Structure 1
């Protein structure tokens, strides 16, 4: 590990400070070694032998920690912000980001993922802009806000997942007399770390033709037909051209998986655990280049097998209640609560849902992760601990 040198003035202007430390496998501490280290400092060099334990550990040592945020408290603070904080140029959005406690106060849920509660008051507009960060919206409650992407008004309702690839113009407007909250997910930390982000202001106000409130957006009318791709459409940008994945379709898919399992057929990822992934209808790949989104349904009494994965995830409870364990931290969670699973930390979930707290009678969870990044780099790895059967790696 790099440590401060005994004499901090030996290499003015260099951030490198090295100290020769005796120990097994380390070079003998001599005046010649000390002089070698001063030379490294003057040239801003760091030898691998002082850093290898930190740079190349036997397994991931994530900077993020498991953490849970309670929806009731988030919703309350968002509502108070609605009374105090305007929406417009300067702040752009009334969005309140989850800050992982171990990431130095940065507004990052994980080192690669941003998650925030956005809140729009009755009649408010969030002005148009665009950015290279890939984004989505997920609605855990309410309706009445329309997001306008490329001048296409798209309704936002409970259970809907609305992806939006980077560098698309977008605005929001609340057409009702009630406020509305939802969660935003973006790859802001990833693009921030890699110095790839761009941002541009758009129009201050959207046009009257964008204030209409159609039941289906133009994107849904063109792309929202299962298994059918419009021959006329030429997809040129990254990400899904379908701007809304409606809850009724997601709910039906999860219900059918569990029904098939009950009939003795396959379809679930493990007994009592149904899951679907939102995909791009043009490519069948992930909806966004850097973000994967899924919906999970776990039947009452079912406990999932512990799983470790490289990369990180954020979950939100859509319906029901349960118990979540991440690397020894265990929480009871219910509708709206959000929690983080850092890289290579074991996750298991037990459903405690019932008819009194879940429309489906099960624990429904929305999940988004950075999996596409690691798959593209061939750094993806997962291990499922099926101790009752056998360990498997995929």
Structure 2
């Protein structure tokens, strides 16, 4: 019998029953089943665009209001408009714009959350990971794997801004977050710059290195010049109708994602190229590193240019068109979904 055809007495009895079981910390599944097991994803996240040219002044103002040491990490979080107050850009991912001024050090710490950095603006900064520094250059994709010591510094004469991407919401959901501050603001240098890339990023690994499939990569920097060169190399062929020319970053020792919880991708769209509609279950954060164009997400359409950031929630249709040759970086929780057998895509 449907609720619409219940008698007043039956409705009162049912309401009273719900109240009694509620006092026992129970609730009826049949009242919420449609929301718990939907026919397809209905993400509470919203598609959104952040225009870097409009945000840069606010990022720089933070540098005048608080020091990197005071803040520990001077970051403006990019909050999804539909998830305000939750410090997330999708249900599983965090993103923010981090600023470090000349002469500053963001002190060393470590945490169970995995993090990526994508350098957007300025030069002269470095990131140190477990005793090795790497100079941060625009477009570089840099990783601080879970529970690795890391600090940042700026030895140059100009502010440096990068995009942070972390799995903070995922770790928070699992109640598995730990963090520790170092007694020293900057790590002691244990290896020369470029050591990890030479040992693990040249189709060779140390003789005794036997990584497990889920281990994060030892290559913690993926230089932008290599990314661009790879994309331009494959761009001599025929583009995929839904993706253009797109590659995923991997741990070169295992072929798996560089981090077990975050996947990262680089995409080249030739001038004038337009992708066909595409959607997938991993909500994805996109960053334009070169060129510009138009993104259509569901029924919204935006113009994007260099350093702009936009998010495409789970199962939202995406189409991209490049006004001029465009290079986009993106990251998502795809490795988690694939490990759990949940990931799906649809090419429309």
For the superposition of Structure 1 and Structure 2, which TM-score range results when normalised by the shorter chain?
A: over 0.9
**Matching of residues 1-394 of structure 1 within 5 Å:** 22-23=3-4, 29-88=10-69, 91-206=71-186, 209=189, 216-225=193-202, 227-235=203-211, 238-261=215-238, 268-270=239-241, 273-353=244-324, 362-385=325-348
Q: Distance in 1 between matches of 2:7 and 2:221?
A: 58
| Aligned-residue offset at 1:194 | 1.9
Larger radius of gyration: 1
Greater per-residue strand proportion: 2
In 2, are the aligned partners of 1:163 and 1:243 still within 8 Å (CA)? yes
Deviations 1:207-247 (A, max 9, x none): 5747x9x6x4221121121x323323344783110011111
Aligned to 1:391: none
SS at match of 2:226: helix
CA RMSD of superposed structures (Å) = 2.3
Gaps of 5+ in 1: 1-20, 262-267, 354-361, 386-394
In 2, are the aligned partners of 1:115 and 1:185 still within 8 Å (CA)? yes
| Aligned-residue offset at 1:25 | 9.9
Aligned to 1:9: none
- After superposition, the Cα gap between the structure-2 partners of 1:286 and 1:209, relative to the gap in structure 1 and judged at 3 Å, is closer
- After superposition, the Cα gap between the structure-2 partners of 1:28 and 1:68, relative to the gap in structure 1 and judged at 3 Å, is farther
- After superposition, the Cα gap between the structure-2 partners of 1:128 and 1:31, relative to the gap in structure 1 and judged at 3 Å, is same
| Aligned-residue offset at 1:23 | 2.5
Gaps of 5+ in 2: none
Q: Distance in 2 between matches of 1:25 and 1:247?
A: 65
TM-score (norm 2): 0.93
| Aligned-residue offset at 1:269 | 3.0
Q: Distance in 2 between matches of 1:95 and 1:337?
A: 16
Deviations 1:66-90 (A, max 9, x none): 000011122221111111111125x
SS at match of 1:78: helix
Alignment coverage as a number of residue pairs:
347
Q: Distance in 2 between matches of 1:324 and 1:25?
A: 49
In 2, are the aligned partners of 1:310 and 1:343 still within 8 Å (CA)? yes
SS at match of 1:373: helix
Deviations 1:316-338 (A, max 9, x none): 11011101011111000000000
Q: Distance in 2 between matches of 1:282 and 1:290?
A: 17
Of 134-143 and 25-34, more deviation after overlay is shown by 25-34
| Aligned-residue offset at 1:106 | 2.2
Aligned to 1:389: none
In 1, are the aligned partners of 2:100 and 2:161 still within 8 Å (CA)? yes
- After superposition, the Cα gap between the structure-2 partners of 1:128 and 1:62, relative to the gap in structure 1 and judged at 3 Å, is same
**Which one scores higher on RCO, CA 8 angstroms, separation ≥ 6?**
2
- After superposition, the Cα gap between the structure-2 partners of 1:384 and 1:82, relative to the gap in structure 1 and judged at 3 Å, is same
SS at match of 1:252: helix
Q: Distance in 2 between matches of 1:27 and 1:187?
A: 49
SS at match of 2:233: helix
Of 149-158 and 24-33, more deviation after overlay is shown by 24-33
In 2, are the aligned partners of 1:229 and 1:281 still within 8 Å (CA)? no
SS at match of 1:81: helix
